[in-house]
Amino acid sequence: MYSPGYYEFCCRVKIVAGHQALEKIPGLLNDLNANKPLILADKGVTGAGLVKILSAAIENQIEIGSIEDDIPQDSDLKVVNHLANVYRDKGCDAIIAVGGGSVMDTAKGVNIVVSENADDLMKFSGAGTLKHQLKPLIAIPTTSGTGSEVTVAAVIADHQKNKKMLFTSYFLLPNAAVLDSRMTLTLPPFFTAMTAMDAMTHAIEAYTCLAKNPISDAHAIRAIAMISQNLLNVVKNPGDKNGRLALANAATLAGVAFSNSMVGMVHTLGHSVGAICHVPHGTCMSIFLPYALEYNFHKIESFIAEILFPLGGEDMYRSTPKNQRAEKVIELARKLNQDLFDATNGRHSRFLKEIKDREGRQMVPKDKLTEIAATALGDGSIFYNPEELDYDDCLMVLNAAWEGVPLDRSRIKKG
């Protein structure tokens, strides 16, 4: 068992999960002394009928202050301020956020504004500037991926000043995360694959990066097992309610793991590809995952080998000789991408060069790789990666991931 010498661990969010979990929300709000929530969502969420399901589940017992579903993908300060005004005008006393990362971040921002009565959100950016409990916030994730229902951070853009503000505080955590299988049941296979691979990456990076600790390890192991046992099944049978619930649980477990143990170079590179080429986060995650395992192999072989148990299952673990287990994990990570590629009729990308946008254009031209490598050096996750990464290292990995060939491990500089 690995002992890190010193660690901090916290999972303060109450988690309520099940096939009928939404029905518990009025009780949760009641416990928080609130009875008029503002519901935040985006058009995709309402389009899929999810807000309707939520309303039906709670409106008998509680008055909904307002439903606001025009949060854009790239939400910003203006949206936050507008929604804060709605909250005040309608006399709301709690927020329910239904959606993915953008909705969650926006909700956290709105919560700061309405709780601190702030006219300038900027004052509260950075770490530890919030000192008080905010208004009740309930998070309902609609993808099984980001884990942002249990993370302390929020990123809010100010498009006018062309700036991104980072907020981190335990007070930003939702009071409760409600995981309900109905909320992910209609997620198309391709999105399911992408977001679940984000969760998978959270768990694997949490288990292998520098801030790992025994309790987050337990979360990671459990999350990896649940995803690998259910993902392919759910992608092939989207209506599998139990599988959906398992993935939702796994994403939250992975979120708990990585918000305590942080993530490494999969995210370092993934964030940069996302920032420069606007590739969806989960796609980057699944592509870089095998490469990060190869790159860090010499530092963390024993941790990678342990992952074979949850990832490959007990039979595979038993039949794989001890010294080949870590290699097997890398092989499985690649195979999983291939299987998802097959199961989504090629929509799930395996390498950078095959990522296409809706019009079928290539999203990551090869000549962007140098810019991506340079950007990667500025990503905070780089410090939690087991091995050092400089510009040349990033470029080497990017090139291999672009072509879809394994890393030439003789070229890895070992510290």
Partner 1 sequence: MDDYRELKPRSKLFKKIYIAIMLWFVGRSIQAASRVDKDIKKEFDDFPEGFTFSLGVAPNGPYMVVGKDKQGKVKYLGWNRQGKRIDVDMKLKNIEAAFLLFTFQESTCRSSARNRLIVDGDVPTAAAIVRVIDMVEVYLLPKLIAKLAIRRYPSWSIMRTLIGRSRIYFRAILGY
Partner 2 sequence: MQVPEFYEFHCPVKTNAGINALDHIPIELEAMDARKPLIITDKNTYSKGIIKHVASAFSESGIVLGVFDGVGDTADISTIRDLYQRWQYKGIDSIIAVGSGAVLDTAKGLNIAVSGKPEDLRKNAESIKTRLKPLVAVLTGYSNGFEISKYAFIGELTFTSPFLMPDLVVVDPRMVRSESALRIAETAMITFSHAAEAITHASKNPLSDCYAYAALEYIRHCLMEALKNPKDKKSCLALAEASSMAGCAFSNSRFGMVHELGQEIAKQRLLSSGQAMGILLPYGIEYQTLKCGFQAADMLIPLVGFNDFVDTPQNQRNQKVLSLIRQMQDNICSTVQLPRTFKDVQIEKEKLKKVAQKVAESSSSGIREDAYLTVLNAAYDGKPIMG
- For partner 1, give the closer residue by CB, 228 or 261: 261
Tell me how far CA of residue 138 lies from CA of 28, 44, 167, 331, in angstroms: 9, 19, 18, 39
CB of 318 vs partner 1, minimal distance in Å:
33
- Binding residues (CB under 8 A) for partner 1: these are 4-8, 126-128, 166, 209-211, 262, 375, 377-380, 382-384, 386-388, 413-415
Is residue 128 part of the contact set for partner 2 (CB under 8 A)? yes
Footprint of partner 2 on 241-260 (CB under 8 A): 242, 245-246, 249, 253, 256
Pick 9 or 383: Cβ nearer partner 2: 9
Select the span of 240-248, 268-276, 351-359, 386-394 touching partner 2 (CB under 8 A): 240-248
> What is d(CA 24, CA 42) in angstroms, rounded to the nearest whole number?
22
Would you state the structure tokens that stand for residue 292, as one six-digit string?
A: 């990060």
Judging by beta carbons within 10 Å of its beta carbon (0-12, 13-18, 19+), is residue 343 exposed, middle or buried? buried
Q: How far is the CB of 41 from Fe ion (least distance, A)?
A: 21
Mapped to the 3 state alphabet, what secondary structure does 282-323 carry? Answer: HHHHHHHHHHHHHHHHHHHHHHHHHHHHHHHCHHHHHHCCHH
Query: In terms of CB distance, is 138 or 373 closer to partner 2?
Result: 138
Q: Tokens standing for 197?
A: 């691979």
Supply the minimum distance, in Å, between the C-beta of residue 326 and partner 2. 13
CB closer to partner 2, 23 vs 339: 23
Q: Which is nearer to partner 2, 309 or 351 (CB)?
A: 309
Residues 6+ away with beta carbon under 8 Å from 53: 22, 182, 183
Token representation of residue 347: 């929509």
Interactions with partner 2, residue window 201-220 (CB under 8 A): 214-215, 217-219
Rounded Cα gap, residues 146 and 142, in angstroms: 10
Closest approach of Cβ 146 to Fe ion, in Å?
A: 6
The torsion angles phi and psi of 176, rounded to 5 degrees, stand at -145, 145
Residues 4-63 that bind partner 2 (CB under 8 A): 4-12, 14-21, 24, 31-33
Give the pairing type, strands 153-158 and 163-168. antiparallel
Of 214 and 378, CB closest to partner 1: 378
Query: Which residue lies nearest Fe ion, judged by its C-beta?
Result: 198
Considering CB distances under 5 to 8 angstroms, the limit depending on partner class, which of Fe ion, partner 2, partner 1, none binds residue 3? partner 2
Residue 259 CA neighbour count, 13 Å, CB half = 24
Among partner 2, Fe ion, partner 1, none, residue 378 binds (CB under 5-8 Å by kind): partner 1
Report how far residue 364's alpha carbon sits from residue 280's, in angstroms, rounded to the nearest whole number: 12
Does 233 help bind partner 2 (rule: CB under 8 A)?
no
Residue type, 82: H
Q: 83 Cβ partners below 8 Å, 6+ apart?
A: 38, 40, 68, 71, 106, 110
Number of residues that bind partner 2 (CB under 8 A): 49
Q: CB count, 10 Å around CB of 162? A: 7
- Can you tell me which of 170, 357, 390, 405 binds partner 2, judged by CB under 8 A? 170
Residue 198 within binding range of Fe ion, rule CB under 5 A: yes
Give residues 258-317 in contact with partner 2 (rule: CB under 8 A): 306, 309, 314-315, 317
- Nearest alpha-carbon partner for 151 in 208, 224, 190, 100: 100
Instruction: Report phi then psi at 141, rounded to 5.
Output: -70, 140
Per CB under 8 A, residues contacting partner 2 are 1, 3-12, 14-21, 24, 31-33, 128, 131-133, 169-170, 214-215, 217-219, 222, 225-226, 242, 245-246, 249, 253, 256, 306, 309, 314-315, 317-318
Per CB under 5 A, residues contacting Fe ion are 198
